[in-house]
Protein backbone atom coordinates (compact mmCIF):
# COMPACT_ATOMS: atom_id res chain seq x y z
CA UNK A 1 0.00 0.00 0.00
CA UNK A 2 1.40 3.41 -0.97
CA UNK A 3 -0.78 5.74 1.10
CA UNK A 4 0.02 6.18 4.77
CA UNK A 5 -2.15 4.74 7.53
CA UNK A 6 -3.25 7.49 9.84
CA UNK A 7 -5.13 7.62 13.15
CA UNK A 8 -6.93 10.83 14.12
CA UNK A 9 -8.24 11.89 17.52
CA UNK A 10 -10.62 14.64 16.50
CA UNK A 11 -11.17 16.19 19.92
CA UNK A 12 -13.16 19.25 20.96
CA UNK A 13 -9.98 20.81 22.34
CA UNK A 14 -7.11 18.99 20.62
CA UNK A 15 -6.50 17.15 17.36
CA UNK A 16 -3.81 14.48 17.44
CA UNK A 17 -2.54 12.51 14.47
CA UNK A 18 -0.74 9.19 14.54
CA UNK A 19 1.07 7.77 11.53
CA UNK A 20 1.62 4.03 11.43
CA UNK A 21 5.32 3.32 11.66
CA UNK A 22 6.11 6.79 13.00
CA UNK A 23 3.92 7.40 16.07
CA UNK A 24 2.30 10.70 17.07
CA UNK A 25 3.31 13.33 14.54
CA UNK A 26 0.92 16.18 15.29
CA UNK A 27 -0.85 17.68 18.28
CA UNK A 28 -2.64 20.99 17.77
CA UNK A 29 -5.65 22.80 19.24
CA UNK A 30 -8.94 22.24 17.32
CA UNK A 31 -9.26 25.85 16.25
CA UNK A 32 -9.56 27.52 12.86
CA UNK A 33 -9.38 31.21 11.98
CA UNK A 34 -11.66 32.15 9.10
CA UNK A 35 -11.87 35.27 6.98
CA UNK A 36 -15.49 36.32 7.38
CA UNK A 37 -16.13 37.72 3.90
CA UNK A 38 -14.62 34.86 1.88
CA UNK A 39 -15.03 32.02 4.43
CA UNK A 40 -11.42 31.16 3.65
CA UNK A 41 -9.47 29.40 6.38
CA UNK A 42 -6.47 31.58 7.18
CA UNK A 43 -4.99 29.76 10.17
CA UNK A 44 -5.42 26.34 11.77
CA UNK A 45 -4.34 24.89 15.10
CA UNK A 46 -1.63 26.62 17.16
CA UNK A 47 -1.60 29.79 15.08
CA UNK A 48 -5.39 30.08 15.10
CA UNK A 49 -5.50 29.53 18.86
CA UNK A 50 -3.14 32.45 19.46
CA UNK A 51 -5.72 34.67 17.73
CA UNK A 52 -8.60 33.85 20.11
CA UNK A 53 -9.80 37.10 21.68
CA UNK A 54 -7.39 39.11 19.49
CA UNK A 55 -8.86 38.78 15.99
CA UNK A 56 -9.15 41.73 13.62
CA UNK A 57 -12.75 42.47 12.64
CA UNK A 58 -12.62 40.55 9.34
CA UNK A 59 -11.45 37.32 10.96
CA UNK A 60 -13.19 34.99 13.38
CA UNK A 61 -11.79 32.06 15.29
CA UNK A 62 -13.98 29.02 15.80
CA UNK A 63 -13.78 25.67 17.46
CA UNK A 64 -15.47 23.49 14.82
CA UNK A 65 -16.21 20.67 17.27
CA UNK A 66 -18.47 20.92 20.25
CA UNK A 67 -19.12 18.31 22.92
CA UNK A 68 -17.13 15.74 20.97
CA UNK A 69 -19.07 16.05 17.71
CA UNK A 70 -18.86 18.26 14.64
CA UNK A 71 -20.76 21.51 15.08
CA UNK A 72 -19.37 23.28 11.99
CA UNK A 73 -18.97 20.78 9.19
CA UNK A 74 -17.20 23.00 6.67
CA UNK A 75 -14.64 24.28 9.15
CA UNK A 76 -13.96 20.73 10.41
CA UNK A 77 -13.35 19.43 6.88
CA UNK A 78 -11.04 22.36 6.13
CA UNK A 79 -9.15 21.93 9.38
CA UNK A 80 -8.68 18.20 8.69
CA UNK A 81 -7.57 18.87 5.13
CA UNK A 82 -4.96 21.36 6.33
CA UNK A 83 -3.65 19.03 9.05
CA UNK A 84 -3.59 15.94 6.81
CA UNK A 85 -1.64 17.88 4.21
CA UNK A 86 0.79 18.97 6.88
CA UNK A 87 1.31 15.35 7.87
CA UNK A 88 1.29 13.68 4.44
CA UNK A 89 3.16 16.32 2.46
CA UNK A 90 2.72 16.49 -1.27
CA UNK A 91 2.16 12.81 -2.04
CA UNK A 92 -0.39 11.77 -4.64
CA UNK A 93 -1.32 8.73 -2.55
CA UNK A 94 -4.29 9.33 -0.33
CA UNK A 95 -4.09 8.04 3.25
CA UNK A 96 -6.20 5.37 4.91
CA UNK A 97 -7.67 7.04 7.97
CA UNK A 98 -9.06 5.84 11.31
CA UNK A 99 -11.00 8.52 13.20
CA UNK A 100 -12.15 8.33 16.82
CA UNK A 101 -15.78 9.04 17.62
CA UNK A 102 -17.71 9.24 20.89
CA UNK A 103 -19.51 5.99 21.69
CA UNK A 104 -22.75 7.89 22.15
CA UNK A 105 -22.71 9.47 18.67
CA UNK A 106 -25.85 9.57 16.47
CA UNK A 107 -25.99 8.19 12.94
CA UNK A 108 -26.03 11.66 11.43
CA UNK A 109 -23.01 12.74 13.47
CA UNK A 110 -21.24 9.52 12.52
CA UNK A 111 -21.83 10.21 8.82
CA UNK A 112 -20.60 13.79 9.19
CA UNK A 113 -17.24 12.57 10.56
CA UNK A 114 -16.81 10.07 7.71
CA UNK A 115 -17.70 12.65 5.07
CA UNK A 116 -15.41 15.30 6.57
CA UNK A 117 -12.52 12.82 6.50
CA UNK A 118 -13.19 11.90 2.85
CA UNK A 119 -13.49 15.56 1.95
CA UNK A 120 -10.18 16.21 3.70
CA UNK A 121 -8.50 13.74 1.35
CA UNK A 122 -8.80 10.26 2.87
CA UNK A 123 -8.96 7.29 0.52
CA UNK A 124 -10.66 5.04 3.04
CA UNK A 125 -12.21 5.98 6.39
CA UNK A 126 -13.00 3.81 9.38
CA UNK A 127 -14.23 4.88 12.78
CA UNK A 128 -13.30 3.67 16.25
CA UNK A 129 -15.11 4.36 19.51
CA UNK A 130 -13.09 6.68 21.73
CA UNK A 131 -13.36 4.76 25.03
CA UNK A 132 -11.99 1.61 23.33
CA UNK A 133 -9.15 3.59 21.80
CA UNK A 134 -8.49 5.36 25.11
CA UNK A 135 -8.34 2.05 26.97
CA UNK A 136 -5.91 0.53 24.48
CA UNK A 137 -3.78 3.66 24.52
CA UNK A 138 -3.73 3.52 28.31
CA UNK A 139 -2.20 0.06 28.10
CA UNK A 140 -5.27 -2.03 28.89
CA UNK A 141 -5.63 -5.34 27.05
CA UNK A 142 -9.30 -4.83 26.24
CA UNK A 143 -9.83 -8.27 24.69
CA UNK A 144 -9.45 -9.93 28.10
CA UNK A 145 -12.60 -11.24 29.80
CA UNK A 146 -12.11 -8.61 32.47
CA UNK A 147 -14.13 -5.45 33.05
CA UNK A 148 -12.40 -2.09 33.02
CA UNK A 149 -13.64 1.45 33.45
CA UNK A 150 -12.29 4.38 31.48
CA UNK A 151 -13.09 7.98 32.39
CA UNK A 152 -11.94 10.36 29.64
CA UNK A 153 -12.02 14.00 30.71
CA UNK A 154 -11.66 16.11 27.57
CA UNK A 155 -12.50 19.71 26.72
CA UNK A 156 -16.27 19.50 26.15
CA UNK A 157 -17.26 16.14 27.56
CA UNK A 158 -16.36 13.55 30.15
CA UNK A 159 -17.01 10.05 28.89
CA UNK A 160 -17.42 7.20 31.31
CA UNK A 161 -17.32 3.70 29.83
CA UNK A 162 -17.18 0.10 30.98
CA UNK A 163 -15.38 -2.24 28.59
CA UNK A 164 -15.17 -6.03 28.60
CA UNK A 165 -14.19 -8.62 25.94
CA UNK A 166 -13.12 -5.79 23.64
CA UNK A 167 -16.55 -4.15 23.55
CA UNK A 168 -18.26 -1.31 25.32
CA UNK A 169 -20.73 -2.67 27.87
CA UNK A 170 -21.99 0.74 28.99
CA UNK A 171 -21.09 4.31 28.16
CA UNK A 172 -22.27 7.71 29.22
CA UNK A 173 -21.21 11.17 28.23
CA UNK A 174 -21.75 14.34 30.26
CA UNK A 175 -21.08 17.88 29.16
CA UNK A 176 -18.84 18.66 32.09
CA UNK A 177 -15.09 18.68 31.42
CA UNK A 178 -12.18 21.10 30.90
CA UNK A 179 -14.28 23.95 29.45
CA UNK A 180 -16.70 23.80 32.40
CA UNK A 181 -13.72 23.94 34.78
CA UNK A 182 -12.59 27.13 33.02
CA UNK A 183 -16.10 28.61 33.26
CA UNK A 184 -16.27 27.76 36.97
CA UNK A 185 -12.93 29.55 37.52
CA UNK A 186 -14.17 32.67 35.66
CA UNK A 187 -17.33 32.69 37.77
CA UNK A 188 -15.50 32.21 41.06
CA UNK A 189 -12.94 34.94 40.34
CA UNK A 190 -15.66 37.36 39.30
CA UNK A 191 -17.58 36.71 42.50
CA UNK A 192 -14.58 36.73 44.83
CA UNK A 193 -12.35 39.43 43.32
CA UNK A 194 -14.83 41.43 41.22
CA UNK A 195 -12.75 41.06 38.08
CA UNK A 196 -13.53 39.51 34.75
CA UNK A 197 -10.98 37.20 33.14
CA UNK A 198 -11.07 35.60 29.70
CA UNK A 199 -11.19 31.89 28.87
CA UNK A 200 -7.48 31.60 27.94
CA UNK A 201 -6.53 33.11 31.33
CA UNK A 202 -8.89 30.77 33.17
CA UNK A 203 -7.36 27.79 31.36
CA UNK A 204 -3.86 28.96 32.25
CA UNK A 205 -4.86 29.31 35.92
CA UNK A 206 -6.38 25.82 35.87
CA UNK A 207 -3.25 24.28 34.35
CA UNK A 208 -0.80 26.15 36.59
CA UNK A 209 -2.46 26.12 40.00
CA UNK A 210 -5.65 24.05 39.61
CA UNK A 211 -6.19 21.29 42.15
CA UNK A 212 -8.95 18.95 43.25
CA UNK A 213 -7.19 18.16 46.51
CA UNK A 214 -5.57 21.19 48.20
CA UNK A 215 -1.78 21.45 47.96
CA UNK A 216 0.07 21.21 51.30
CA UNK A 217 1.15 24.81 50.77
CA UNK A 218 -1.11 26.90 48.55
CA UNK A 219 0.47 28.18 45.30
CA UNK A 220 -0.15 31.76 44.18
CA UNK A 221 -0.44 33.30 40.75
CA UNK A 222 -0.91 36.86 39.45
CA UNK A 223 -3.77 37.20 37.01
CA UNK A 224 -4.86 40.08 34.83
CA UNK A 225 -8.49 40.93 34.30
CA UNK A 226 -10.92 43.80 34.04
CA UNK A 227 -12.29 45.44 37.19
CA UNK A 228 -16.05 45.20 36.95
CA UNK A 229 -16.62 48.57 38.70
CA UNK A 230 -14.03 50.72 36.95
CA UNK A 231 -13.80 48.81 33.66
CA UNK A 232 -10.02 49.15 33.92
CA UNK A 233 -7.33 46.44 33.86
CA UNK A 234 -6.35 45.09 37.25
CA UNK A 235 -4.01 42.43 38.62
CA UNK A 236 -5.03 40.19 41.51
CA UNK A 237 -3.23 37.37 43.26
CA UNK A 238 -5.22 34.13 43.32
CA UNK A 239 -4.13 30.95 45.01
CA UNK A 240 -4.67 27.24 44.50
CA UNK A 241 -7.23 27.08 47.34
CA UNK A 242 -9.43 29.49 45.35
CA UNK A 243 -9.30 27.15 42.39
CA UNK A 244 -9.96 24.14 44.60
CA UNK A 245 -13.20 25.80 45.72
CA UNK A 246 -14.07 26.93 42.19
CA UNK A 247 -13.82 23.39 40.82
CA UNK A 248 -15.89 21.70 43.53
CA UNK A 249 -19.18 21.96 41.68
CA UNK A 250 -18.20 20.70 38.22
CA UNK A 251 -16.12 17.90 39.69
CA UNK A 252 -19.02 16.68 41.80
CA UNK A 253 -21.03 16.16 38.60
CA UNK A 254 -18.26 13.93 37.22
CA UNK A 255 -18.16 11.95 40.45
CA UNK A 256 -21.94 11.50 40.31
CA UNK A 257 -21.69 10.19 36.73
CA UNK A 258 -19.07 7.61 37.76
CA UNK A 259 -21.17 6.63 40.73
CA UNK A 260 -24.30 6.11 38.61
CA UNK A 261 -22.34 4.11 36.02
CA UNK A 262 -20.96 1.81 38.71
CA UNK A 263 -24.36 1.23 40.28
CA UNK A 264 -25.66 0.32 36.81
CA UNK A 265 -22.87 -2.13 36.00
CA UNK A 266 -23.22 -5.90 36.55
CA UNK A 267 -21.59 -6.97 39.85
CA UNK A 268 -18.91 -9.20 38.28
CA UNK A 269 -17.64 -6.29 36.24
CA UNK A 270 -17.75 -3.97 39.26
CA UNK A 271 -15.61 -6.56 41.05
CA UNK A 272 -13.05 -6.43 38.21
CA UNK A 273 -13.06 -2.64 38.17
CA UNK A 274 -12.54 -2.37 41.91
CA UNK A 275 -9.62 -4.74 41.62
CA UNK A 276 -7.95 -3.11 38.59
CA UNK A 277 -8.94 0.46 39.32
CA UNK A 278 -10.61 3.15 37.22
CA UNK A 279 -8.33 4.61 34.54
CA UNK A 280 -8.43 8.35 33.81
CA UNK A 281 -7.50 9.70 30.37
CA UNK A 282 -7.86 13.06 28.54
CA UNK A 283 -6.29 16.44 29.30
CA UNK A 284 -8.65 17.15 32.20
CA UNK A 285 -7.18 14.19 34.09
CA UNK A 286 -3.97 16.20 34.52
CA UNK A 287 -5.44 18.44 37.21
CA UNK A 288 -3.64 17.79 40.48
CA UNK A 289 -5.50 15.41 42.79
CA UNK A 290 -8.04 14.07 40.26
CA UNK A 291 -7.32 10.39 40.92
CA UNK A 292 -7.06 10.89 44.68
CA UNK A 293 -10.38 12.72 44.91
CA UNK A 294 -12.34 10.14 42.89
CA UNK A 295 -10.77 7.28 44.76
CA UNK A 296 -11.71 8.95 48.05
CA UNK A 297 -15.32 9.51 47.02
CA UNK A 298 -15.96 6.22 45.22
CA UNK A 299 -13.82 3.95 47.39
CA UNK A 300 -11.93 2.11 44.64
CA UNK A 301 -8.43 2.69 43.23
CA UNK A 302 -8.06 5.25 40.44
CA UNK A 303 -5.02 5.86 38.23
CA UNK A 304 -4.22 8.52 35.68
CA UNK A 305 -2.94 6.92 32.46
CA UNK A 306 0.55 7.82 31.27
CA UNK A 307 0.36 10.83 28.89
CA UNK A 308 -3.44 10.98 29.23
CA UNK A 309 -3.94 13.45 26.33
CA UNK A 310 -2.31 10.96 23.95
CA UNK A 311 -4.16 7.78 24.95
CA UNK A 312 -6.96 7.98 22.38
CA UNK A 313 -4.69 8.54 19.40
CA UNK A 314 -2.19 5.94 20.62
CA UNK A 315 -5.15 3.54 20.77
CA UNK A 316 -5.79 4.12 17.07
CA UNK A 317 -2.18 3.10 16.44
CA UNK A 318 -2.72 -0.13 18.36
CA UNK A 319 -6.02 -0.78 16.58
CA UNK A 320 -4.35 -0.31 13.19
CA UNK A 321 -1.62 -2.72 14.21
CA UNK A 322 -4.10 -5.32 15.48
CA UNK A 323 -6.14 -5.10 12.29
CA UNK A 324 -3.16 -6.53 10.51
CA UNK A 325 -2.69 -9.34 13.01
CA UNK A 326 -6.30 -10.49 13.23
P1 LIG B 1 -10.54 16.71 23.78
O2 LIG B 1 -10.36 15.23 23.66
O3 LIG B 1 -11.92 17.11 24.10
O4 LIG B 1 -9.97 17.45 22.60
P5 LIG B 1 -8.27 16.81 25.58
O6 LIG B 1 -8.17 15.42 26.06
O7 LIG B 1 -7.22 17.29 24.65
O8 LIG B 1 -9.71 17.17 25.05
O9 LIG B 1 -8.26 17.74 26.90
C10 LIG B 1 -8.42 19.11 26.78
C11 LIG B 1 -8.71 19.71 28.13
O12 LIG B 1 -7.62 19.39 29.01
C13 LIG B 1 -8.76 21.24 28.06
O14 LIG B 1 -9.87 21.68 28.81
C15 LIG B 1 -7.46 21.66 28.71
O16 LIG B 1 -7.58 22.91 29.37
C17 LIG B 1 -7.21 20.55 29.71
N18 LIG B 1 -5.81 20.39 30.08
C19 LIG B 1 -4.74 20.19 29.29
N20 LIG B 1 -3.61 20.11 30.01
C21 LIG B 1 -3.98 20.26 31.30
C22 LIG B 1 -3.26 20.29 32.56
N23 LIG B 1 -1.95 20.14 32.61
N24 LIG B 1 -3.98 20.47 33.69
C25 LIG B 1 -5.31 20.62 33.63
N26 LIG B 1 -6.05 20.61 32.53
C27 LIG B 1 -5.39 20.44 31.36
MG1 LIG C 1 -10.64 13.38 23.62
Q: Is the pLDDT at 275 greater than 90, yes or no?
A: yes
* Nearest ligand (C-alpha, residue 63): 1
Q: Is the pLDDT at 1 greater than 80, yes or no?
A: no
CA–CA separation, 228 and 181 (whole Å) = 21
Q: What local confidence, expressed as pLDDT, does residue 33 receive? A: 95
Q: Whose CA is nearest to atom 19 of ligand 1?
A: 283
* Nearest ligand (C-alpha, residue 157): 1
Helix 248-263 and helix 290-298: axis angle, to 10°?
A: 50
Distance in Å, CA 164 to ligand 1 centroid:
27
* pLDDT tens by residue, 154-166: 999 999 999 999 9
CB of residue 210 inside a 6 A radius of ligand 1: yes
What share of the chain has pLDDT > 70, as a percent?
Answer: 98
CB of residue 131 inside a 6 A radius of ligand 1: no
Angle, CA of 66, 69 and 74, to the nearest 5°? 85
CA–CA separation, 137 and 317 (whole Å) = 8
* pLDDT tens by residue, 131-183: 999 999 999 999 888 999 999 999 999 999 999 999 999 999 999 999 999 99
Amino acid sequence: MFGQEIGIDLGTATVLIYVKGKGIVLREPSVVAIEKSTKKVVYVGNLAEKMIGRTPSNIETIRPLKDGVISNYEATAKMLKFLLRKVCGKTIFKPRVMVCIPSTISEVEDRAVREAAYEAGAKFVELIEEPRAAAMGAGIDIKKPMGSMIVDVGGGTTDVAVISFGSIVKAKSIKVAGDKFDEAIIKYIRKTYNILIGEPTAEEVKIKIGCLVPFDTAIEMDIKGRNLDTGLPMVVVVNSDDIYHALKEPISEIIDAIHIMLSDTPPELVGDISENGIVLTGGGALIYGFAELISDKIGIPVVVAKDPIECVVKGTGIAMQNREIS
